[in-house]
Amino acid sequence: MYDDDIFSPEQVDEQIERLPGSLPHEDARLVSDLHTVYQPLAHSNTRSLERVRARLAQHETRTRLSHGNASSIPFHQTRQQKNKKDRNMKMTMTAQEGTWQRRLGLIAAVFFVALLVGSLLLAFELARQSKNVTHHSNAATTGSNTGQIVVDTSPSSPGIYLTAQKDRDTFQIIKLDTQTRKQLWSQNIGTITMRSTIVVVGKTVYFSSANADLSQNYVYALNAETGAVRWHINLGNSQYSQKELVPTPAGGTVVRATPSTGNNVLSYTLGILSTPVVDNGVVYVTGESGKLFALNATDGTQLWMYDTQTVPIGESGTRYDVEKVAVDQGVIYGSIMNKLYAIDTKTHRALWTIQIDKTQILHAPEVVNGIVYTSSYEQSHHTSGASMTGYVYAFNAKDGTQRWKFTAQSWVLSSPVVVNDIVYFGSYDQHVYALKANDGTKLWSVDTGGHVYDEPTVSNGVVYADETGNASEATSTASTVKPAMFAIDASSGKVLWQQNTSQDSSIEAVQGNVIYTGVFPGTVYAYDTKTGKTLWHQQVGTLLKDKLGEDSAPAPIITVVG
Amino acid sequence: MQQQEPVVFNNLSCDALYQRYASGIFAYFYKQTASRDDAEDLLLEVFLAAMERSNLANMHEEERKAWLWTVARNKAADYYRRMTRHPSVNLKQVETSLYIDESQEPEQITLKHEEYARLRSTIARLPEQQRDVLQLRFAHGLSCAEIATVLEKKEGAVRMQLSRALKFLRSIYGRR
């Protein structure tokens, strides 16, 4: 991205909302910090809106009662909001309403008591399974299978799965035919923040999403053949405000992990969920709350939960991503901040936990042949001149002991990829690297001329990677190279071809002879894997224009199943 | 005029309306009244009017939006008239002390970290219009188009203000 394009009037809304993917690191941090600075006021505003909403609900309930329609649901909640929001609203109503509300409660209780008694056993059963999960009538395997773990071993349903925007407030998941690219189905997801990739296992599509204020954080399962929602579950959020900012003699402040005194406390709503990972009929997803959730892939009920007791908030208050886990041989491997852990899927207990240098932030691990590979980059210190170290690691899956560690020349901003005993990764130091998996020695590196943010994709002996220009935050110089995509021979490191990408795009998938990239606005660009030439491009979702006539649909997130 | 029975207008649509427009209208009232309680009351009045407006469901989206905002601006005008007749606070003073009021809320956090302090002090040095736009963007979660409605300005002007503000703030992150 060129410097002039960052926060330009035409793109400023889009760039703030697409944090952090479309922005250079420092600019993404500015947006993140602004969210943090305004978060207390934002919380107050959210509460105001909830209070008014609750009062509207009361009014509607009164109106309905006065017209003999007491059984209606007060002020309808959308399907996505129902669970947690409803509870919040009821709590607010109770607090505000006093006697009148209690009387209403009594009347309602009389209406419902017979029903409750009659369905007591059923209620217990439902309560046991989940307090939050919502099933849908078109779910394929709920009902008699509820509670049972069923492993879907059917081949994954082929197609191009991607996100699109239907209108300004509604995201969609869309499936296209791989050959004809005709739309097969679409499913509206509502107002969400989509941080997860789309995962297709057998006949089901999984992903996670959040609403704007992170009060609802869902894992979704859609029928891959029809797009119908099989289930979705709200895993809730938590407030994090137990760190006290303590002044230092030098005039700065540090964060001290002590119980809140009510003053100088950083507060966050922690809710964002990682990309789901499905293994043996169980969906594993991690949350900003530091919890790892295990859900029944069939019906979304929560099976168990593990708390890492760590939240992805840096010492200087920076908020970091939640990383997906890897599952291998009945063990879950996960990372959060500088902590790497292994959990037994049977006992739900940690087998081992290690902590690397506390200045480093780990990416998602990958496990191959009993070795856990991961990478890290140095935390933001919110000061100029901070060092930008980055590393790639290999640990023994059995006990977490370190096998080797490779030092890059700058941040490593995505996970490594391991194929045929070679570890591939890109770095902010403008290189794509290949290391020997067994000892971490460098096989080759390619100078891309620009920062590499995304993890490479390896397919049929070729490494595909993209760079995003070489603009320097430190010297405030604009990029002198255009964003480009590279095809590199996986063994020799020879560049097979290099293709400029006209706009800030990222490689989302490689399937068959096609490289799929998501490009702003709302477009899929497909390139030939052999030549890098554009094969086709296609607008997805609605071509949204703002009032100035500028495009505003975000770049799609794409998963392709061949 | 025939007395109409209060019709609870289509639940789904009303909920959707609230989701779509309540943030913007609340931000508008908050800015106009400088009182959270008053802004909540006014917002309630607007949506009560919406719930009882039987033909709202038949309107096009743009018409619904226009109707809601017309009601909102009328409510604000009524509020001003009430305030003029019964002035309890000087509005100008309230307006300028809004930031301080917010920081007095029990849940308000005083961020004293070096970087946040620097960011806040840099924000404080921005022109008032840019501060307003930042607050509406980050504290109310409004898009430029929505901010334009709240501030009764052109969207292009809001985009320019937000762009300028962010580009200036980048300077404290090692850029110029």
Global pTM value: 0.59
With 90 as the cut, is the pLDDT of residue A72 above it?
Answer: no
Which ipTM value was assigned to this complex? 0.81
Q: Among A171, A465, A43, which Cα is nearest to B106's?
A: A43
pLDDT at residue B27 is higher than 50: yes
Q: Is the dihedral of CA A263, A40, A32, B171 positive or negative?
A: negative
Show the tokens assigned to B48. 């009560």
CB contacts of B44 in chain A (<8 Å) are 52, 55-56
pLDDT band at A135 (very low <50, low <70, confident <90, very high): low
Residue A279 distance to chain B (closest CA, Å): 36
**pLDDT computed for residue A266 by the predictor:** 54
**CATH of B109-173 among 3.40.309.10, 2.40.240.10, 1.10.10.10, 3.40.50.2300:** 1.10.10.10
Higher pLDDT, A393 or B111: A393
Please answer whether residues A386 and A373 qualify as being in contact, where contact means their C-beta atoms are separated by less than 8 angstroms.
Answer: no
* pLDDT for A131 beyond 50: no
Q: Which whole number is the average pLDDT over A90-99?
A: 31
CATH 1.10.10.10-classified regions of chain B: 109-173
Chain B positions touching A385 (Cβ under 8 A) are 174
Lowest mean pLDDT among A71-85, A163-177, A438-452, A524-538: A71-85
The model's confidence at residue A76, banded by pLDDT at 50, 70 and 90, is: very low
Structure tokens at B107: 């849940």
Asked: is A159-232+308-561 a CATH 3.40.50.1220 domain? The reply is: no
Are B147 and B137 spatial neighbours (Cβ–Cβ below 8 Å)? yes
- pLDDT of res. A491: 96
Given a cut of 80, whether residue A477 has pLDDT beyond it is no
The two structure tokens encoding residue A316: 């200087």
Closest in B19, B20, B48 to A56, CB measured: B48
Q: Binning pLDDT at 50, 70 and 90, where does residue B48 land?
A: confident
Q: Give the pLDDT confidence score for residue A337 in this predicted structure.
A: 95
Task: Identify the burial level of B125 via C-beta atoms within 10 angstroms of its C-beta, where 0-12 means exposed, 13-18 middle and 19 or more buried.
Answer: exposed
Predicted local distance difference test score (pLDDT) of residue A276: 97
Is residue A94 very low, low, confident or very high in pLDDT (cuts 50, 70, 90)? very low
Separation of first and last alpha carbons in chain B: 65
What's the pLDDT band for A136 if we cut at 50, 70, 90? Answer: low
How long a stretch of residues is chain A? 562
Q: Contact, A418 vs A366, CB < 8 A?
A: yes
Q: How confident is the model at residue A546 (pLDDT cuts 50, 70, 90)?
A: low
Does residue B95 carry a pLDDT above 50? Answer: no
What is the reported pLDDT for A25? 75
- A76 close to B (CB below 8 A): yes
State the pLDDT at residue A376: 96
Secondary structure of chain A: what % helix, strand, coil (to 5)? 15, 40, 45
The phi, psi pair for A515, rounded to 5°, reads -100, 125
CB contact under 8 A, B137 and A30: no
Of B109, B138, B166, the CB nearest to A7: B166
The CATH number given to B11-85 is 1.10.1740
pLDDT at A553 > cutoff 60? yes
Gap from B89 CA to chain A (nearest CA, Å): 22
A70 at the B interface (CB within 8 A)? no
Please check whether residue A443 touches B, CB under 8 A: no
pLDDT surpasses 70 at A134 = no
- The chain-wide mean pLDDT, for chain A, equals 78
Which of A7, A36, A253 comes nearest B114 by C-beta? A253
- Confirm if B50 and B17 have CB atoms less than 8 A apart: yes
Q: Specify the higher pLDDT residue, A333 or A165.
A: A333
Delimiting residues of CATH 1.10.1740 domain(s) in chain B: 11-85
Q: Among A92, A16, A38, A91, which residue's Cα sits nearest to residue A267?
A: A38
pLDDT at B58: 76
Considering chain A, tell me which residue range(s) the CATH 2.130.10.10 domain(s) occupy: 159-232+308-561
What residues of B are in contact with residue A80 (Cβ under 8 Å)? none
The pLDDT of residue A16 is 82
| Cα atoms in the 13 Å half-sphere on the side-chain side of A468 | 25
CA gap B138, A42 in Å, rounded:
7
pLDDT band at A333 (very low <50, low <70, confident <90, very high): very high
